[in-house]
Amino acid sequence: MRKLWLMLVCAFAVLVLAACSSGSNEEQGTNSNGTSKQGTEKAEVTGIDGIEITEPVEIEFWHAMSGDHEKALQKITDDFNNSHENITVKLVNQGGYGDLSTKVMAAAKANTLPALTQAYEDWMTEYIENDFITNLNPYVESEKYGFTDDEFNDIMEVFREMNTWDGVLYGLPFNKSTQLMFYNVTYFEEAGLEVPTTWDEMKEAAEILTNDDVIAIGFENGLSIGFNQWVHQAGGQFFDEATGEFKMNSEEGKYALTYVNDLIQSGVARTAGEDGYMSGPFARGDVAMYFGSSAGLPYVAAPAAENGIEWSTAVLPSDAQSAAPFAGTNVTMFNHLSDEEKLAAWQYMKFLINTDNTIYWAQQSGYIPVRQSALDSDEWKSYVEENPTYGVAQQQLEYGFYDPRVKGAYAFKNAVAKELDKVFLGEYTVEEGLEAADKAAAKELGK
């Protein structure tokens, strides 16, 4: 009897211990393989902190920069290579952005992707869907290699948002620009006009400034593909990223399209046409003002000086609201790399946009510094004081917006642009153009 009692007690004890053990694992969040979930999440960050690059690592950064932009990028990269032992970043120019996009997708199929690439947000959407690129959150949060909260928030909010999908950061901003109004100072002064700040003021100024030798307003040939600027300023919406719907066929869209079309049809505005870019006609004095990228500042300065043109820049005129499109690429890291290669790539990404380098890049390229600390620095303030045209873009950051991050955004915008162009060419009425654009967008978006 005593023996049976002892056996029952032992059996009960085993059951209690098993139950306690099970409960303990439940509280810790044990995975099916017995690894603690909490431990796994921690390991993802602490694992990065434990990585050291003790052997030489060479990685490639594919880009589409050329001319002075490429020279500036090479200098930053050389500085990085010279200051980081065992890491070499090799720049590989892949031509224009279209070429770069095509080559990245071809490399993905051939399993020959680089470590890093420049990428627009719609490209990144496709990369994310195909699990090509790396979740950067663990790198940001790394105690050893990451950002402090202040360092991360120092990156402009609009640029952080452009690189974040569902709370996950997939890139860091690099060459960012916005649209500006370039204007001929002499023409405005001779006409006794102030620089327009609203659509109404711009239309009035255009009628005064246009004569036999000068057209008041110039638009780039890409006017239609960038028409979201005008829709947003009219108080409308071009595209709803949450629903995936094209929204321009609205009262605000109609108002914006009518306004711009009236400027063109009345002869007070023109596109670049055979000149290719409006910086040419503007620097010759053929137009009194034009809308173009802040990245085009260096391309205006030299020919304008040669032709004796006094010019400056201003924020975009507004209507129902102020709105400025921000564009440009980011740097993103591919997934196939070793831990050491990823760490090397991450360190380069951070270096590329540190305060000193984003200032240098902006000075050399006309792009915008991507950090608040850069805008607040004495170096940048002194530069802007000497070169005031470079300080206008940052004034639009508070009401900046960005292109839809839908996969195939360029094809969708291009399809819409073809229909809007027919309005400006007189082939469609405004209403017909909006209906055609709506159908073209639906077709491209698979609606």
Answer whether 265's CB lies under 8 Å from 192's CB.
no
Query: Has residue 163 got a pLDDT over 60?
Result: yes
In whole angstroms, give the CA distance from residue 434 to residue 129: 31
Q: 233-289 pLDDT, tens per residue? A: 999 999 998 899 999 999 999 999 999 999 999 999 999 999 999 999 999 999 999
Query: Has residue 391 got a pLDDT over 70?
Result: yes
In whole angstroms, give the CA distance from residue 319 to residue 268: 19
Query: Has residue 29 got a pLDDT over 80?
Result: no
In whole angstroms, give the CA distance from residue 74 to residue 326: 24
Which segment of 2-16, 125-139, 170-184, 348-362 scores lowest on mean pLDDT?
2-16
Q: Tell me what pLDDT residue 46 has.
A: 52
Cα-only R_g, the chain: 27
Tell me what the mean pLDDT of segment 403-426 comes to. 93
In which band, very low, low, confident or very high, does the pLDDT at 314 lie, cut at 50, 70 and 90? very high
- 57-176+327-386 with 179-326+405-445: one CATH topology? yes
Q: 62-96 pLDDT, tens per residue? A: 999 999 999 999 999 999 999 999 999 999 999 99
Tell me what the mean pLDDT of segment 371-398 comes to. 97
Answer whether 423's CB lies under 8 Å from 253's CB.
no
In whole angstroms, give the CA distance from residue 370 to residue 383: 16
Q: What would the 3-class secondary structure string for the chain be? A: CHHHHHHHHHHHHHHHHHHHHHHHHHHHCECCCCCEHHHHHHHHHHHHHCCCCCCCEEEEEEECCCHHHHHHHHHHHHHHHHHCCCEEEEEEECCCHHHHHHHHHHHHHHCCCCCEEEECHHHHHHHHHCCCECCCHHHHHCCCCCCCHHHHHCECHHHHHHCEECCEECCEEEEEEEEEEEEEHHHHHHCCCCCCCEHHHHHHHHHHHCCCCCEEEEECCCCCCCCHHHHHHCCCCCEECCCCEECCCCHHHHHHHHHHHHHHHCCCEEECHHHCCCHHHHHHCCEEEEEEEHHHHHHHHHHHHHCCCCEEEECCCECCCCCEEEEEEEEEEECCCCHHHHHHHHHHHHHHCCHHHHHHHHHHHCCCCCEHHHHHCHHHHHHHHHCHHHHCHHHHHHHEEECCCCCCHHHHHHHHHHHHHHHHCCCCCHHHHHHHHHHHHHHHHCC
Q: Tell me what pLDDT residue 124 has.
A: 97
**Summary mean pLDDT of the chain:** 90
- Domain boundary assignment for the chain: 57-176+327-386, 179-326+405-445
pTM: 0.85
Q: Tell me what pLDDT residue 316 has.
A: 98
In which band, very low, low, confident or very high, does the pLDDT at 409 lie, cut at 50, 70 and 90? confident
CB-count exposure of residue 213 (10 Å: 0-12, 13-18, 19+): exposed
Q: Give CATH for domain 179-326+405-445.
A: 3.40.190.10
In whole angstroms, give the CA distance from residue 77 to residue 347: 12
Tokens representing 85?
A: 């032992």
In whole angstroms, give the CA distance from residue 121 to residue 113: 18
Q: Tell me what pLDDT residue 346 has.
A: 99
Half-sphere exposure of 97 (CA within 13 A, CB side): 11
Query: Residue 405: phi, psi to the nearest 5?
Result: -95, 30
CATH fold group of domain 57-176+327-386: D-Maltodextrin-Binding Protein; domain 2 (3.40.190)
Q: Tell me what pLDDT residue 407 has.
A: 84
Tell me what the mean pLDDT of segment 386-409 comes to. 93
